[in-house]
Structures are given as C-alpha cells and as structure tokens.
Amino acid sequence: MKNGCPTVKCIIVLLLVASALCFNFIPQRAAGVRGKPYPKSPFAHKVSRDVVDKARTVAPTSQIPVIVQLNDKASQSFESDVARKSGQLKATLRQFNARVVDLPAKVVDELASRPDVDFISLDRQNISFGHIATTTGADAARMTNVPNSTGLDGSGIGIAVLDSGIDMNHTSLLDRRGRSRVIVNHDFTGEGRTDDPFGHGTHVASVAAGNGRIANAQFTGIASNANLLNLRVLNSSGSGKVSSVLAALDWVLANRAIYNIRVVNMSLGAPAVDSYIYDPVCRAVRKLVDAGIVVVAAVGNNGINNGGRKIYGQVHSPGIEPSAITVGAANTFGTDERKDDGVATYSSRGPTRSSYLDSSGVRHYDHLIKPDMVAPGNKIIDAASPNNYLMTHNPWLDANVSKVEGRRMMYLNGSSVATPVVAGAAALLFQADPTLTPNMVKMLLMYTAQPLSGFNMLEQGAGEVNIEGAVRLVKLMRRNLMAGVQVGSPILSISGTPMPQTTIAGKTFDWAQGIILKHNFATGLDLITKYQQIYDLGVLMGDGVMTSNGTLVRNSMLSGGVLLSDNVLVSDGTRMSGGTLFLSSGVLVSDGVLVSDGVLVSDGVLVSDAILGPNANVQGMSTTTQADPMKVSVVPVDNGRDCLKY
C-alpha cells in the first residue's frame, strides 16, 4: 500500500517513535486479495477498498450491495443506467442524495466513471457495542430550576435511539402519568417488528432516559423524562446494514422538527474503511449536526488484543466523524466518587485510521484524536427487554433486581452503554438552553470533563463526562448567541468566571478546561468567555486550526486568547494541558504507518472485560465462560412499587 510520507527517513522515524511508545503493531493489510495490486483505474479514488476486494473475489455477475453517493451533477439517467447494467435500486435516501444499489461486480468501475457519482462504498454490517446518575453529576444537575418543569430531566427533548429496538412498555420508560415515552417506533431491518428481542436497545434507551420508578430510583437514567424515538436498525441477532442506518438518519432529518429531535444515539458501528470525508454514514451524521442535532457515537470495544495488550487505531464508523461526539467507556469500579475511575481496558483508542486514495494513487489517513470523552460503561445495570437474547444466553447478566417482566434489569459493559450517558447529558443541556448549537454542546461537555490521571488523549479525549459542570456552565451563558454574534463576543452573562471544579460524592476534581480539535487540543478561558466561530452551525470545531508539517496555524475562527497545542498528552489528573508528552501532532497527522493498517474486527456487545476464552464469540458478542463474572457485592432489589420521586 502506497503512503504519503516523502522520505524513507521519515518512515523510519515514525516507526521508532511508535515503537518507543509501546504501540502494538499488527500486520499491514495487503494491498489486495492474494497480494494483487489494486486495479489501475482512473476512478479508483471513488471506490472503497473493500468494494474493490469483493469485486475481485466473486464472479463478475455476482451482485454486490453498495451505497452510491451522488453529487450536485446528479442525473435522472442514474436509475436507468443501473438497470441497464443489471443492477437493482434498493432504496433512495433523499436527504443525503444517495442510493442503495445491488450492483454486478464487473460494472463497479464503470458506474464510478459517471460524473454524477461521488463515491461508492460497501453496504457494511453494523454491530451493537456493548448508579450512573450520581457519579456523572446528573443528580446534581437535576436540581436546576427549569420554567414550567419538574426540574432538569430532558422533558420535551427527543432522543432518537438507533439500535436493536426498544421495549416501549418497560416501566423504566414510562412518564409520570404511566404512559410510554417511546413516541415513535420504526423498523428499518425488514423484520417487521419494533420490540427488542436482542436486548441491547432497551438497555441503551434506559441509560439515556430511564426513570426512577424501579428499586427506589437506584437505576435512574440521565434524562429521565425525555422522549424516545425507537429507530430499529439492528436485527434480532444484534447486527444490521449501513443502508438501514442511513435510512433511519434520513428519516430523522426529515422529521426532526415534528418530534423535536435534538439528539441521536448510535451505540453501534461498522469497520472504518473510508475516510470520514467519504464514509456515507459520517456524511449523513454531518448533515444532522449541521441541522442542529447532536449525534453521539460509540468509539468501539477493541482497546486490547487477544493477549490483553493495548492497541491503538481501532475506532469504528461513525465514531470517526469529527462532528460527532465519540464516547469511550470509563470504569468507575462501582463507586460514586471518581478518584479511582479509569478508562476501561476494552474501550477503543484513537487515532482514527480511516483513509482515502487521492487521484494520484496516494493514500491519506485521517488520524483524528478520538474518543472525544469517556463515560461510565462498565457493569451498568439498566432495563432488560422480555426474554431477550443477551440475557437468555447469558443468565448471569440478570441483575436480579426483579422477576417481573417490564421491571427486570440487566448488566452490560462497553462503549455502547457509555454513549447514551452522553446522549442523555446533551438532552439536559438542550432543555436548559434550546438555542445551543451541537458544537457548543460538545464544547461544554469537553471543557467541564474530568481528565483521568495516567491515560492519554487517544484513550480518554478530554476526560470523563461531568454533567454537573456542563449544566452549571450553560446556566451562566447568554441565550441566542447565534444572532449575528462575532468572534470574541462575550458568552457569559456574569462578569467573572465559574469555579472550574465539581464535587461528587464529597470529592472535588478539576475540569479539563480545554477541547479536542481534530489532531490537537485548545485551552484558555476564552473558550467559555468569548464566542468562537467554531461553535457555529455548519463548521467543524477543528476548522479553527490548520496543521502543516506539525506546525499549528490559527485562523480568524478563534480569538487570540485560545491557546493551541501540537501535542497529545498523558494526563496528570488536573486540567487538559497538565501531563507529559505522549505523541506530537506532527507524528499523528503523518501518513506513515502509525499504529496498524490491519483489517478491523467487529465490535461486539461486551458483557465482560475478562480475558476471553476460545468459545467466547457468539454473533459478534464477546462473552466469558466464567461463573457470575458480573457479580457485585450489593444490588438494590425492587419492591414492586413505583417510586415517583425521581
């Protein structure tokens, strides 16, 4: 595989730096099947690598499921041309100007030659990843007074959950009048059902928005009265296609105003083959964010190899998208206080290794710092759908809170259950200030996060989510900042600045006081006292910084009080700028082999972070054969009576 590093010396330096940092290398992916080179085509840069691989391993007439993204030159002749080539149009995604097509292998390159075709990618498989209210600061934030409301609980905000379905009648998902808060149910899998036979989606939904009716409010979700939209994109075995996800996102964009959809939760992922510039799901996510919707995505669960050693560069799509809030899993070790918190061993680490091929045949890697933050994701107890696959095949997942269907609770691990914590936090921020942009929500959550000592930015991003701090900060901000505001305009409604600390369970910690910007990070009080153009709709937060040969260049999108770094740090547990050098930005953004060009493996639903045995894989789900691996000392038991004081 050709890379863009100009000299052999540069490659050697990169490898030495990576080796010194104890990166685990795995074999570089072959350029093509059986070592053959990719076809010499003038349109190769418009086709994903895995489409090329598949086209050369099947019969010429075999149908390949692809996503075709069109550009503004789109012609009405496209559909007829597909038909002439013996292809079949499966779906039209109008909001994204894309088509889902089954295409004969022999005509892939021919279709790519059309001037209205922007990019062709495989319709890949998506697989689910997979007392939080106190430790995240949500309970403290709930005390905020909101006009015409019972408190800060997500009321009126719509959270779209793209997952395996939701048990809409589970007690955790009812409102205070006993009605289901699942206000929309749509199936995009073709199975013709919207319940949750797999069990993942119900758990995820209740982490984001579960109420406190069960077990005296011991398992309350983050936005406990938000509305939920059940968009089922994963089937009964917990997997699904990219085209299903795109269809669901297309629906969200078309119906966002009707249901006040401000947040989308995506606790799922597919292999990150294409750069976010061309990945169809990433492009769809960008359109949603530009429309004012926060999209929260799981980073994945590939943080260690089979030998239990750390590996880097295993972030999945759409977690590679810079406009999304990408979330990794923190391990709280079952305590409310956060001094012992760390990044879960299995949580995937950056940088993103998705790439694109330019018209000259040179491959370029994205190398973004991901995740953006981490949230509690280890041994999380929340709602269980009736007779779900995960719990029936792994009985020890039952938390034994209740034996009554509709009140049962289960354990799950993974970045998939950390992601809805942040989705719920975003809903609370939108309730506190509906005029926020997605970039402002992202800034607030990163700036107030807690950096975890001993973990680098490729593991934790800005740090562990701190909802109390984010809500306290947004309460001090001016409203309607988007009305012609200029760079450097005041943000806060007070003359001073808030104390950059939060106290949870009697322990005080410092905020990160900074934000991640693509390949680097920024710090400074100006981030919360002066408006930055990177907070606008239609831009990326990293657009305020350009990187050239490791040198950072600020443009007019940032005020002079924002300090930029060209390093990735290992945190010392104080603020984002505190710590030791882990990797320089100049190394990170190079096109050399930094971590691995290996074939990515799917991220299953994690039900244990134990070392997996030889029989551990079940339908993409990582399990363990150890007895009662999720058992903890004390689990509150439900008395069968609803608690309404949540």
Q: Are strands 567-571 and 563-565 parallel, antiparallel or unpaired?
A: unpaired
Please state the rounded mean pLDDT for residues 268-274. Answer: 91
More confident residue, 60 or 603: 60
pLDDT band, very low/low/confident/very high, at 8 (cuts 50, 70, 90):
very low
Q: 467-475 vs 438-447: helix axis angle to the nearest 10?
A: 120
In the predicted model, is pLDDT for residue 599 greater than 70? no
**CA atoms of 167 and 175, how far apart (whole Å):** 14
* Average pLDDT taken over every residue of the chain: 84
CB atoms within 10 A of CB 280: 31
Give the torsion sign (CA, 270, 322, 291, 181).
positive
- Report phi then psi at 563, rounded to 5: -95, 130
Instruction: Report whether 539 contacts 498 (CB < 8 A).
Output: no
Residues in the chain: 646
Residue 313 to residues 23, 184, 351, 504, Cα–Cα distance (Å): 10, 36, 5, 33
- Report phi then psi at 479, rounded to 5: -90, 160
Please state the rounded mean pLDDT for residues 629-635. Answer: 49
Tokens encoding 507: 């322990």
Q: Smallest Cα–Cα separation from 252: which of 242, 244, 243, 261? A: 261
List residues with catalytic annotation: 163, 200, 416
**CA atoms of 566 and 592, how far apart (whole Å):** 18
More confident residue, 598 or 416: 416
**CA atoms of 457 and 343, how far apart (whole Å):** 11
Tokens encoding 49: 């690598």
Instruction: Report whether 303 contacts 346 (CB < 8 A).
Output: yes
- What single letter denotes the amino acid at residue 155? S
In the predicted model, is pLDDT for residue 10 greater than 70? no
For residue 306, the model assigns a pLDDT of: 84
- pTM, two decimals, is 0.85
Query: Could you report the per-residue pLDDT of 216-250, keeping only the tens digit for each?
Result: 888 899 999 999 999 999 999 999 999 999 999 99
Q: Smallest Cα–Cα separation from 92: which of 236, 219, 251, 223? A: 251
For residue 625, the model assigns a pLDDT of: 26
Question: If you write DSSP's letter for every residue of 408-460 in order, what string do you get?
Answer: -EEEEBSHHHHHHHHHHHHHHHHHH-TT--HHHHHHHHHHT-BPPTT-BHHHH
Tokens encoding 5: 């590093």
Unique residue bearing structure tokens 């097509």: 101
Domains of the chain are 31-123 (3.30.70.80), 127-588 (3.40.50.200)
For residue 483, the model assigns a pLDDT of: 63
Collect contacts of 13-16 with beta carbons under 8 A, ≥24 apart. 14/587, 14/590, 14/592, 14/593, 14/594, 15/592, 15/593
CA angle 135, 136, 142 (to 5 degrees): 105
Tokens encoding 183: 């206000």
Q: How many CA atoms lie less than 13 Å away from 189 in the CB half-sphere?
A: 27
Query: Could you report the per-residue pLDDT of 434-492, keeping only the tens digit for each?
Result: 999 999 999 999 999 999 999 999 999 999 999 999 999 999 999 877 667 889 999 99
For residue 549, the model assigns a pLDDT of: 62
**CA atoms of 408 and 373, how far apart (whole Å):** 30
Checking phi first, is residue 239 left (phi over 0); if not, alpha (psi -120 to 50) or beta? beta
Instruction: Report whether 495 contacts 125 (CB < 8 A).
Output: no
For residue 38, the model assigns a pLDDT of: 44
Instruction: Report whether 431 contacts 154 (CB < 8 A).
Output: yes
Please state the rounded mean pLDDT for residues 195-208. Answer: 97
Please state the rounded mean pLDDT for residues 308-332. Answer: 94
Percent over 70 (pLDDT), the chain = 83
pLDDT band, very low/low/confident/very high, at 613 (cuts 50, 70, 90):
very low
Unique residue bearing structure tokens 């075995």: 237
Give 630's contacts (C-beta < 8 A, 6+ positions apart). 379, 396, 397, 411, 607, 608
